[in-house]
Amino acid sequence: MTVSDEKVCKVPGCSKEVYNAKSFFCGEHKRSVKENGKKALQTAVTVVAAVGVVAVKIKKSLKK
Asked if residue 37 has pLDDT above 80, the reply is yes
Q: DSSP readout, 20-56?
A: STT-SS-HHHHHHHHHHHHHHHHHHHHHHHHHHHHHH
Asked if residue 21 has pLDDT above 90, the reply is no
Q: Is pTM, for the whole model, over 0.85?
A: no
Buried b or exposed e, range 17-43, using 16+ CB within 10 angstroms: ebeeeeeebbeebbeeeeeeeeeeeee
Mean pLDDT of the chain: 87
pLDDT band at 61; cut points 50, 70, 90: confident
Asked if residue 28 has pLDDT above 70, the reply is yes
| Rounded-to-integer distance, Cα 23 and Cα 34, Å | 13
| Mean pLDDT (whole number) for 18-34 | 88
